[in-house]
Amino acid sequence: MLAVGLMSGTSLDGIDAALIDSDGADRVRAVAFHGLDYDDRTRSRLAEAARVALGMERPGPAPAIDDAARLLTDLHADVVHALLAKAGVAAGDVAVCGFHGQTVAHRPDRGWTWQIGDGQRLADAIGIDVVADFRSADVAAGGQGAPLLPVYHQALTAALPKPAAVLNLGGVGNLTWIGADGALIAFDTGPANGLIDDWMGLVSGARFDAGGTLAGQGQVALDVLDTMLDNPWFDAPPPKSLDRADFTIAPARGLSPADGAATLTRFTADTVALALGLVGRPQRLIVAGGGRHNPTLMRMIGDTCGLTPEPIETLGWNGDATEAEGFAYMALRTLDGRAISFPGTTGVAEAMTGGTLYRAAKDTARR
């Protein structure tokens, strides 16, 4: 079946939309991809929604969040229309759309996680049934609600020698480890691009360290690095997950722009090495997410981990589309009642499905 997947990550850089042909199990074929970069105003509104959400004890109404949710949903609808036009596919030929929404707060320690976005509004706008709110059921059952991509990573790496690992470098990093016996373990590794992006915004106003250029010019401040790594969270066994705001750039303040960028980039690399230390050395480390475009970060990961990180393109896949494809895949699994989270990936007691299905209005024209 054809399925659309949508992802707006914690880096707040834009929306990724992917169209796949899959059975939700062993067969996956990428069909098309389309992306939309957020403008500064949209990025600011989403960041403000996250700031408000992180200050709340539990999810609840707030004008900044409600307005951001409507804006986010309508932008996603525009992206779906553009994706289908690019692919030459009618909405009526698409079985389902997986809509992750925008994470504004992730607090499994408090029993909740919050991804804004109106599933029904999107379904009616695109004329396709939508599966949204993928994480809440897992958290309500005692899981971490993240990461969710491992089941898709397992399908993508089916032909690789095992053990194999897939590292996603978004705002937060997460690792999927597939054992020789098929065992699936996954967890967040720590900040990936998040702190580097925050530092660049502070010292230069840039959204990210393009090509890792600034970090490549600096020296790692080992005392600052040691302070940041001295955190019991890194020793905790998986599964475990983070909110993007759980770590800050505060320890690096006072460093030069280049040294701060180098130190925070090395921090991300070291957290990957610590993560691999919890599960074992894979035969191959496949990297998805925006961080794979940062050669300084990739070099540091190779140095600290003692192996060569490979961009996911080496498997013939589009690394910019991976997360969006994963939510299309999981939406198909939700339709079939298949599990999307597992004891080894989120800590839930037993494998379980997730997501809420929103049916498109019957009078919505399927283009």
Question: Do 86 and 134 fall into the same domain?
Answer: yes
* Whether residue 351 is found in the same domain as residue 246: no
Same domain, 280 and 347: no
State pLDDT tens for residues 125-145: 999 999 999 999 999 999 999
Task: Identify the sign of the CA torsion 280, 285, 291, 294.
Answer: positive
Question: What pLDDT was estimated at residue 9?
Answer: 85
The pair phi, psi for residue 18, each rounded to 5°, is -135, 145
- Do residue 82 and residue 19 come from a single domain? yes
Same domain, 171 and 266: yes
Establish if 78 belongs to a structural domain.
yes
334-356 tens-digit pLDDT: 999 999 999 999 999 999 999 99
Provide the pLDDT for residue 363.
59
Confidence at 57, pLDDT banded by 50, 70, 90: very high
Residues 196 and 279 in one domain: yes
pLDDT above 60 (res 119) = yes
336 burial (CB, 10 Å; 0-12 / 13-18 / 19+) is exposed
Query: Does residue 242 contact residue 173 with C-beta atoms inside 8 Å?
Result: no
Query: Same structural domain for residues 168 and 122?
Result: no
Please state, for a pLDDT cut of 90, what percent of the chain lies above it.
Answer: 92
Q: Is residue 155 in a domain? A: no
Give yes or no for residue 291 having a pLDDT over 80. Answer: yes
Indicate the residue among 264, 284, 307 that finishes a domain: 307
Q: Once rounded to an integer, what is the mean pLDDT over residues 14-38?
A: 96
Number of domains in the chain: 2
Q: Are residues 301 and 326 both part of a single domain?
A: no
Element (H, E) at 95: strand 94-107
Q: Tell me, yes or no, whether 248 and 332 share the same domain.
A: no
* Residue 339: CATH number of its domain: 3.30.420.40
102 belongs to a structural domain: yes
Q: By the 8 A CB rule, do 82 and 34 touch? A: yes
Confidence of residue 366 (pLDDT cuts 50, 70, 90): very low
Does residue 156 lie in a domain region?
no
- If asked whether residues 192 and 274 sit together in one domain, one would say yes
Q: Quick: pLDDT tens for 152-186.
A: 999 999 999 999 999 999 889 999 999 999 899 99
Q: For 196-229, what is each residue's pLDDT tens digit? A: 999 999 999 999 999 999 999 999 999 999 999 9
pTM over 0.85: yes
pLDDT of residue 367: 36
- pLDDT for res 333: 98
Same domain for 171 and 271, yes or no, is yes
Question: What average pLDDT score do residues 24-42 get?
Answer: 96
365 within a domain of the structure (yes/no)? no
Residue after which a domain boundary falls, among 266, 281, 307: 307
Decide if 300 is inside a domain: yes
Whole-number pLDDT of residue 245: 87
> DSSP secondary structure string, 102-130?
EEEEEEGGGTEEEEE--HHHHHHHHTS-E
Answer yes or no: is 314 within a domain.
no
Compare 72 and 147 and report the one with higher pLDDT.
Answer: 72
* pLDDT tens sequence across 92-108: 999 999 999 999 999 99
Q: Answer whether residue 260 is part of any domain.
A: yes
Percent of the chain with pLDDT over 70: 98
- Same domain for 41 and 141, yes or no, is yes
Task: Please report the DSSP string for 200-263 in residue order.
Answer: HHHHTS-SS-GGGHHHHHS---HHHHHHHH--GGGGSPSS----GGGS-SGGGTTS-HHHHHHH
Domain containing 187: what range?
161-307
